[in-house]
Each structure stands twice: as structure tokens, then as C-alpha cells.
Structure 1
């Protein structure tokens, strides 16, 4: 019965489900891997700056991949870029199954570089493919599909964080890598067999110089996105997990569990973002909505930083404050994700989406490095003030969006 009803689905829905399934499976391993690396190397006695360095190549290669990946997607088809991404993640996980003596910083950085390339090929392919599956006159539906894909991805990334903490406790680092690589091999084989060959291929072969966007709206949105994600990662990537473990004395389960709950709640809110930004009244958001929601977001890290400064109910301020930040950030992120897919051109859509997610990866790179450096030198409060400054920049850039 299940097989019959799946066969009866329209072709575009089947392709959407395959893309979403690939994205979900990948995201689970990506979230788990991040938490495993942070907790395992913190346990081995690495400093916050050293842990941040482990992610340096992951983020740098994410920037490069988004820039080149959009061009590759337009030339090769999004099915190929998605499958290459899944294959590279399997290689990255397999590399980390070696004995602990071989897990030097340089070696882990190389494995993380492969994982960074894989993650952004997968993400760019999934987001671009949706544009190809929804007609131009169905902007409300496009916003909903993008919100569901992005929201469910982030909820699963949260589950991945929790999974990382659990796997580290139950199977240890090497065992966790073997389990995740094995599952991903099955997903990769299913994707190779079922994903359409011509998805997202541009009618004209784009030149390599086309990777840079010529649209002022996309350039402005990309710059705003860079600051938005820098504002999140400057406290989230290294500073927060290390702060929770070192200051509150939380164990792997608790740290992984809290980070998981944060990202799951963030993903759920993202899925409902269309209803929070006027879809019920038949509105699709404009650039003005991005500016307004950035303004709401600005108040939260500043308030948490003040609570830390005056030593006012610190544990409650951080836990509740960051949950509120997650909810408002989720709406901001969902708005941006819709606007880029809406602004992108139809032929070679992955070029525009790739350029935009390059800015996203650049924001994560800046945030990740600063998260380790600022936390080690000045503490979590300074990370939160810097987060507020980045949001001011994102709001300022959003003013000019069409």
C-alpha cells in the first residue's frame, strides 16, 4: 500500500522527497560529527582556540565549495553535486576511524575539510533543486517548501548533536564514525539510483566567471547573511559548549542534549516561519521583513551579555535567553532562505544560491574562529557583544533589500 501511494505521487513531489531524505541523512551525521569533535577534543585537553582550528578547514572549504559548487551544479546537474557530497562525507567519516594517536590536529583538519565540501555541496544542491520543482507563480508554496526543508534540516542537526553526545558515550569516537559511515553508504546508493539526472542543469553552459553574482539584491542579501550567521556562530560553535562544560560542569550528555534541544527548537520554528511572517494574510515577505526581524534579534544577545556582566541569574539567562535567540534567529534565517530562492534566476539557479551560501559559509568561518579566540581571551560575554554588533550590520544591509 505504501509503495502504491508513493508511486502515485507527482514526479516533482517524489524528487522533493528524495532530496529532502538525502539532506536529512546527511544533516544527522554532520551535526553528530561536530558535537563529537568538540566534546572528544575538549576531553583530550585541547584549548578552545585549538578546537576552533579543527573547524577552520571545514568552514574555509565551505566558502570555496559554495562559490564553485553553484557553477558545478549548473553544469553537471544537482543530482551529481548532491551525490558527490554524500560520497565525500563517507570518506571524511572513514578517515576518522583511525587510532587516537593518528588523530593529530592537521589530520582532523583535512577530514573536516572534506566534510565541509560535502556539507555545502549537499546543501546548495537541495536548496537549488526546490526552485526547479515549484512554478514561478507559486511563491507562497516556494516559501513553504524552503521553510520545511530548512527547518527540518536544523531540527535534525539538533538531533545529530544529541546523537553525537550519545555515540561518544556508548560507542566511543571510532565506533561512532563507523556507525555513521555505514548508514550513509546505504543512503548514497539509494540516491544514485533514484535522483533525476537533469535536475538544475543550465540550458547554456555557464562560464566560471558567472560564479560571482551580478544582482545588487543578491549581493546585499548575501552580505546580510554573512553577518547574521557570524552573529550566531561567534558564541555557538566553540564558546557555548566549552562554557557549559567548564563553568556549569555539564557532562557530554547534558552539553549535547542542550545544544540538540536548541537546534531542534530552532528548526521547528523555522518550519513555521511562513505563518509568523504573514502567510495567513496571503503575504510573502519582502526585504523590509528581514530588517524588522533583525531588529528583534538584536535585543537578545545584548540582554544576555548584560545578565552575565551583572552576574544576574546567569544559568537562567543563558538557557532561556539562548532559546529565545534561537526562535527569533530561526525566523530571520527562514526569511533569508526564501528571499534568495525567490531572487535567484531560473536558468542556472544554483549559481545565485551557491554565491549566497558562500557568504553564509564566510559568516560561519568568521564566527567559528572568533568563537574560540574571543572566548579564550575575554569570555562568553564578549562573544555576545560581538554577536550584537554583527546583527546591527545585518540589519543595516537589510534596509536596502527590494
Structure 2
């Protein structure tokens, strides 16, 4: 086994372990605080700092990764998640809203340091001429991560019932501590460290393609999270009467299937082994996605069984969204400059975090004020913005090798 594959496996293992705890923690917080009587909007507010600090972390984290090395930013992310879990292991009386929001803020910083480091690290392990291989490696990393996030949703619901909130976070913190120690030993010490010391102003991308792709990504993920973060779990529990096992199980199946589709996305979008998919492919898949939430909303206004409409529609949404997400994830890694890759990747995932923040806030407010159908209509509108933005990409892309992405 060569060094590149060994490092890929270490990066992927870190990402997997972190994602498992991140997904479980999200489900734990939503279900536990809903059970305590918090409104959908109040639950959404618990995640504000998680998403807000994701924006800041991606922007600054790319700069830190280029200066310090991606091994350090990845390990810092793992350690911060351990601290966040420890903060939530306090007695129930100490779980005040400000305390939980602070723990979520730390978890948001940890998540985006880990994700930025993992995605950036992959580019450095694959030669620039092997675009097909890069796409497959990014798709496998992203897809497997989301599959485990789905397992995490199920794990969160299960642990809440079996061990309680405090017991669940203590178990996860202990397991992640073991992963962190292994990462300190195994991860390459110079991974992603820029040869030229970047300036702080370099955190803002100068590539038109990356800026356009980042803008589209913001609305793509805002459109997903407006129904996924708060509205859907609460809707399934209150409207359909599903217990926590069923809610956690459905969310898990959705994300597991979503991750599985991401791993095979290159088969749907990319036939060549050494060139990048063009703008037309990216626009096509974004446009296909945009109509699905609206169709679900229309279906809920008919006499058809509501559970069939919601479950079937959201499974279809998951398949098409997964292809869009995997394609975007590959494009940003490929287009990023080779030296200081984390700067471009960090900027891109900053936009991703802004979309999640927007979607999280809208998820609680729109659902509480207008219901699930309104969330779905707004989701379609956000996706239309993503389609228009994607249409502004260059007709063809040039992958960044030694000189950085093509500037336009």
C-alpha cells in the first residue's frame, strides 16, 4: 500500500468517526429539546452558533490549513468535538440554552475544520492529470461520510432512548478520544502546508468559477436545510405520530441512501477519465432538483396519502440532491489552486455553511409560522437561484494543477 492511499485511509477514517458523532449529536439535540417542550424556532436557534461559526471557521480555517498543515487543523477539529461533547455531559439542570448554544458553536468549528481538512487533503494525494480518479476519490469520501452521518442520526435516536442524553454524549466523547489519539500518530505532518506563506487577504477567492460555484452551493444547501434540520423531524413526530426510533430511522435511511448515491455520482455525470464535466451537466442536475420540493408541496394538497407523498418525494429529492452535491464537491477540489488548496476549499465551504445557517433559521421560522408545505415551496425558490447561479459558470473548466484555477 503506497503512502498516498495510507493517508487517504487515515483522512477518511477521521472524517468517518467525526461524522458519526456529528450526526448523532444533531439528532440528540433536536429530539431531546423537542421532548422538553421547545418550539421548532427555539430548537433552530440552538444551532445558530453551530452554523455561524461554520462560516467563520471555513473562511479562517483554509488560511490556517495553508500555514499550519492540514494534519493540525484536522486534529484540532477532532479535539474540539470532544470538548463540545464533554460540555453537554453536564447535569440536566446545567443544560441552559446559552450553554447548549456555546457547545454547538464549538461543535460547528470542529466540524468545519475537519471537513475542510479532509476535502483539501484529497487533492494533494491525486495527480492533477487524473481527474477521473480525483472525482471518484472525492465522491467516495463525501458519500461514505454522509452514509455514516445517516447512521449517526439513527444512533442518536437509539442512544437517547437507551442511555439518555447525558449517557449518549459521554459514550461518543470517549470513542472520539481514541480516534484523536490514533490520528495524532498516523496523519502526515506536512499535509497541505503551503510552500509560500499566504497572506490573510488570500482567504477571499480570486477565481470567478470558484465564486460562482460557492454562491450556487450556498442556495443549494439552504434549500435542503430549510426542511431537513428542524421542520422534517418535528413534522414526522407531531403530524404522523412517529416515535423517536422511527424519526431517527427515517432520517438515517435518507442520509445513508444519499451518501450511497454520492459515491456513484461519477457514473451519472462523468464519462471521461481525464476531463472535468462542463457547465451544462452542472446546470442540468440543479434544474432537475429544483422542481421536486414544489411537487411534494402540491402533492400534500391532494387526497393522496400524505406519508407516501412526503417519504417518496424526499427519497427522490435525496437521490438528485446527492448527485448535485457530489458534483459540486468534486468541482471545488479540482478547481482549487494546488499550493494552498485549503484557501479555496475553505472559501467554498464557508458559502456552504452560510447556506446551512440560512436554511436552519428558515426551517424553524417558516415551519412554525406556515407549516411544512411552505418550507418546501421556499426550498424550490432557493434551488431556482442555485440554477441561475450555476448557469454563470464558464462553459468548460480547467483543473488547477501547479498554477491554480483558471481565472475568468
TM over 0.5: yes
Structure 2 residue ranges without an equivalent (≥5):
395-408
* Contact 1:202 1:347 survives alignment (8 Å): yes
Structure 1: 4+ residue segments shifted above 3 A: 280-284
* Contact 2:24 2:155 survives alignment (8 Å): yes
Equivalent residue for 2:87? 95
* Contact 2:220 2:383 survives alignment (8 Å): yes
TM-score by length of 2: 0.95
1:279, CA displacement in angstroms? 2.7
Equivalent residue for 1:346? 338
Picking from 144, 148, 161, the partner of 2:140 is 148
1:282, CA displacement in angstroms? 6.8
Equivalent residue for 1:112? 104
Q: Deviations over 1:248-289 (max 9, x none)?
A: 011110000000000000000000000111337876312221
* Contact 1:127 1:146 survives alignment (8 Å): yes
Tell me whether 1:66 sits opposite 2:58 in the alignment. Answer: yes
Equivalent residue for 1:159? 151
Matches within 5 A, 1:282-297: 284-297=276-289
Picking from 193, 208, 226, the partner of 1:201 is 193
Equivalent residue for 2:175? 183
Picking from 245, 263, 270, the partner of 2:262 is 270
Equivalent residue for 2:352? 360
Tell me whether 1:138 sits opposite 2:130 in the alignment. Answer: yes
Q: Deviations over 1:191-224 (max 9, x none)?
A: 0011011000001111111100011100000000
Structure 1 residue ranges without an equivalent (≥5):
1-8
* Contact 1:239 1:375 survives alignment (8 Å): yes
CA distance in 1, matches of 2:271, 2:125: 20
* Contact 2:75 2:184 survives alignment (8 Å): yes
The secondary structure found in structure 2 opposite 1:394 is helix
1:239, CA displacement in angstroms? 0.2
Q: Deviations over 1:131-170 (max 9, x none)?
A: 1000010010000000000000000000000000000000
Equivalent residue for 1:223? 215
CA distance in 2, matches of 1:287, 1:161: 34
Q: Deviations over 1:10-47 (max 9, x none)?
A: 00000000000000000000000000000000000000
The secondary structure found in structure 1 opposite 2:264 is helix
Equivalent residue for 1:125? 117
The secondary structure found in structure 2 opposite 1:346 is coil
1:290, CA displacement in angstroms? 1.3
CA distance in 1, matches of 2:179, 2:270: 37
Equivalent residue for 2:398? none
Q: Deviations over 1:320-355 (max 9, x none)?
A: 000000000000000100110111000100000000
CA distance in 1, matches of 2:294, 2:153: 26
Equivalent residue for 2:391? 399
Q: Deviations over 1:103-143 (max 9, x none)?
A: 11110000000000000000000000001000010010000
CA distance in 1, matches of 2:112, 2:238: 31
CA distance in 2, matches of 1:286, 1:31: 33
Tell me whether 1:298 sits opposite 2:282 in the alignment. Answer: no
CA distance in 2, matches of 1:280, 1:170: 49
TM-score by length of 1: 0.97
1:171, CA displacement in angstroms? 0.4
Residues 281 and 190 of structure 1: CA distance in aligned 2, closer, same or farther (over 3 Å): closer
Equivalent residue for 1:369? 361
Picking from 238, 241, 254, the partner of 2:230 is 238
CA distance in 2, matches of 1:157, 1:121: 17
Cα RMSD of the aligned pairs, angstroms, is 0.9
Picking from 319, 324, 348, the partner of 1:332 is 324
Larger helix percent: 1
Q: Deviations over 1:341-372 (max 9, x none)?
A: 11100010000000000000000000000000
